[in-house]
Amino acid sequence: MHKLPSSDVVKAARDRRVLTLRGVDPALRAALEAEAARLGTSLNTVILRVLRASLGLTEAAGLHHGRDELAGVGAAEESRGFNDAVRRFEEIEPSLWGSDPAGP
């Protein structure tokens, strides 16, 4: 078996953008694995998402915030129901707005 010089191994690692993470405690690993299972994705993908989000790189990386798909989403019937429910808050109650005590 041919053994590469250490400088070639380091170069190969940089080319593939390999990063070794040490000191991951069991609770952190379990949380990352649980998130990966919840999302149905790899541990690597979860770690990259967490790192990008914590550094504010989600937009630059073209990632979504996880709630973007909910923006502006809703059935027309739900929208009408919501608008009907809040319409009364737009009405002015005349008895609460009697004559101005400082008026003419």
pLDDT of residue 19: 84
> Does residue 42 sit within a domain?
yes
> Does residue 92 sit within a domain?
no
pLDDT of residue 50: 92
> Does residue 36 sit within a domain?
yes
Domain count, the chain: 1
One digit per residue, the tens of pLDDT, for the chain of length 104 reads 456 566 655 565 556 678 888 999 999 999 999 999 999 999 999 999 999 889 888 754 455 555 555 556 667 777 788 888 888 888 887 787 776 655 55
Give the Cα separation of 69 and 73 in Å (integer): 7
> Does residue 52 sit within a domain?
yes
Query: pTM above 0.85?
Result: no
> Does residue 40 sit within a domain?
yes
pLDDT of residue 87: 86
> Does residue 38 sit within a domain?
yes
Structural domain for 33, as ranges: 24-64
Q: What is the DSSP letter of 35?
A: H
> Does residue 74 sit within a domain?
no
Give the Cα separation of 52 and 75 in Å (integer): 33
pLDDT of residue 9: 58
Count of helices and strands (H, E) across the chain: 4, 0
CB contact set of 51 (below 8 Å; sequence gap of 6+): 57
pLDDT of residue 79: 79
> Does residue 39 sit within a domain?
yes
